Chain A
Amino acid sequence: MPEKNLAAENMLRRHLANPFLVLSLPVDAGIEQIERQGQKILMMLAAGMSESASYETPLGTRSLSEELVREAIAELRDPDRRLIHEWWARAWRKP
């Protein structure tokens, strides 16, 4: 197999773990909506519902975990971090 590039892999993973993609929310979602969506996904994950086990990204579906959801909520609570994620999420939006 060809040799993997760790730096590129980390960058890709960061983009595909964009909080707006993880929570399947639009970039203009308010903080209450974010919290509500996050809790909903966490509950669905805890209940073991199959539709909550993955999320859509520009490169296909990825598996979802509780850590990923909690991390996404925490990232969006910080306004500076949210601004960066918003910028990237706009770029990943499908035309």
Chain B
Amino acid sequence: MNIGAILLIMYLFSRFFKNKETTSPVSILAGQEISSRTIIVSVYTVVLFFIVTYTTMVYCQSYLDQIRSSWLRDIASFLVYIVIPIILLRCVPPWLAWRVLRHLGHSLPARFIFWFTPGKGKADLVGFGRLVEASRGHDPSATKPPPSTLKKRLRVFFMLGEQEPQGDLDAWAVAADALYAEISGDTQKAGNYRHSFNLLPRRSQVPRLIRIFAFEQFALHAARRGAWGTVDNCAAFGAGRSMPLLRLLARGHLTGSCNRALLVLYWIIAPCRLATFPYLRSLLSPQKSSDVQTVTPPDETFQIAHLRLLNDAAEGRPIELAQVLSIAAAWQSTFTSESYAATLARGMEVGARDSHGVADAIPEELLAELEELVAVATGGLPEELLENWEEWRETLVGTLVIRLRSRLFQKLEESADHFFDGDAEQAPPLLQCWDTWLAMHDATERLGYLMGTEDVATAWYGGLQITAWNGACRVSNTYGSKGNWISYLMFSWVVRVADIVEDAEAARVNRNNAATCGIPLYTTFESFLRLPLRIYKWFLGCLMRVCSFAWWGRETPRFLLNIRSALVNRITIVLPAGGAVVAVSIFLSLWSFSDLIVSSLMGLPILVAGIALLYILALRIEKKRQREGSHMAPEKEAEEIG
């Protein structure tokens, strides 16, 4: 406690009398950039950990003593005294901040409580603040009035962050903007922003709290709109207790059937029970009010089906491209030379002045309608059409596909023109860049999906390559670290398209460009290892610093720095060494818990096997990183196309 008090006083001094806002005096001793918040939260966590452990020990010891088997008692003790307090310390602050304080409308206290979440950096604190603002219907990117001096000091003190309109555009910011767009009713924009997360490579990590909080909100808003397909997508990407429930609700509403017992169980486990209760009730009630699908009567003509499709499109319901094309094929049968002559004859009967003009205008009018339907339809072109394209080329369907193709090219060209429409001096806002890039990305993906790789290659070499490549470079070079997250996605997408159209040079250079963005890629296991790795690096830094002060009384000599660099950066050394440190710590802690493992001399083989396993894993990770080029490259400017 005394150490905590001393650190707190040091922290207060550093906050009010130092220029650096995030560097603590401890950093000077440690030789590492450690923020004061890290120190305070660490002390608070350790103190609270012991309090919680002591309290549980008082209440649970008598119960644990009743377990006869010693190894079972040890495991239970480990769970009760170590694991449960860690989980509580990690989960309670965000839960309290989001589920209670934000829900009650107290955004500043919510951010304050979130501050105590261990393992969260400044980006998470600022991002959480944005998400809270967005969830309350406030624009997270809007310019705020300057805070009062006291408020400013409090913000600096608690690292609650300034919300500048030109702030970083990272995963938190995109999630917050998506949530704000959803609340404002701009569902298309919200969908586009949500789609950003699907563009991330498999190995990249979106902060888990975004997956829990933001995606739960997206799913709940989509459920309110009755968009159960969106709910299903959000639940698939999200994380946390509410996702299984939302997934089951979506499936239930989409298919009309679900496992009721499981649904009730998930509902009991999940948060937001009040918000999800109406959907649960609608599924459990005998007459389910599932999405009313348009039921096509069996004797319906294609003309009436055409009207029904127009009705669905007008209402914003999804329509299938194959269905539109089948109706177009059916219309073809009405445009024969006999029907043309009949129209002319009828024109003469009713006294029409321009029967030919009318007879020619009717197919055009129909085509315009079908074109509108095709533009909003989902799904791909039927296989049969692609296989026998020459037969279809001259028909109504062929004309429709050709018009669709030119419309897709036109849309792509327009969106590419708008992407990064400015220079370095008058660069557009970062969010606008992201909007225009998403439009270009969607247009290209749709072109590729409907028309195939050849058309993407045509667009690529017809100017898309230069726009996408150079635009991404400009975003990266103009905004620097603020735009790292989105420029990484842009470069990754350029690499993907370049691979598809077999543009090896573009793929190679942009793979390097993506690496300059400094977005780390982790597997779940690697991310789990991050905390011990950070502690290991910090420990190593301290050791070097102490050594150099003790032996030379001056700055750390180069050879020690080289050793440290090898120990920190060579993952084949980091993992086994870190693993050994952790394993030894665990064995030492287990000593007092149990004599079984240590006394049976099983510890040493387990330790050796564990280190060997970690070494193999490290080798695998290093090889994979080298192959994928996903290593952390040094900061440098992105390379534009010549």
Contact = CB atoms under 8 A, between A and B. Distances in A.
Interface of A: 1-5, 7-9, 11-12, 15-16, 58-59, 79-80, 82-84, 86-87, 91-92, 94-95
A5 B316 contact: yes
Contacts of B357: 80
A80 B354 contact: yes
A80 B316 contact: no
A4 B315 contact: yes
Interface string B329-362: 0000010000000010011001111110110011
B352 A3 contact: no
B189 to A, nearest CB: 11
Contacts of A58: 303-304, 307
Grouping DSSP codes into helix (H, G, I), strand (E, B) and loop, the B interface class, with mixed when no group exceeds half, is: helix
B361 A84 contact: yes
Contacts of A11: 310, 314, 369, 372
Contact of B307 (A3, A59, A95): A59
A83 B347 contact: yes
A86 B352 CA distance: 12
A95 B301 contact: yes
A80 B188 contact: no
Interface in B221-252: 225-227
A1 B187 CA distance: 9
Interface of B: 187-188, 225-227, 299, 301, 303-304, 306-308, 310-311, 313-317, 334, 343, 346-347, 350-355, 357-358, 361-362, 365, 369, 372-373, 376
A92 B357 CA distance: 22
Contacts of B304: 58-59, 92, 94
10 contacts: A2-B187, A2-B227, A4-B316, A11-B310, A79-B347, A79-B352, A82-B350, A83-B347, A91-B306, A92-B304
Given A79-B350, A83-B358, A2 B225 contact: yes
Grouping DSSP codes into helix (H, G, I), strand (E, B) and loop, the A interface class, with mixed when no group exceeds half, is: helix
Contacts of B299: 95
A3 B314 contact: no
B225 A5 contact: no
A79 B353 contact: yes
Given A11-B314, A79-B350, A84-B361, 10 more contacts: A2-B225, A2-B317, A4-B314, A4-B315, A5-B314, A9-B314, A11-B369, A91-B334, A92-B304, A94-B301
Contacts of A15: 307, 310
B352 A80 contact: yes
Given A11-B369, A79-B347, A79-B350, A5 B303 contact: no
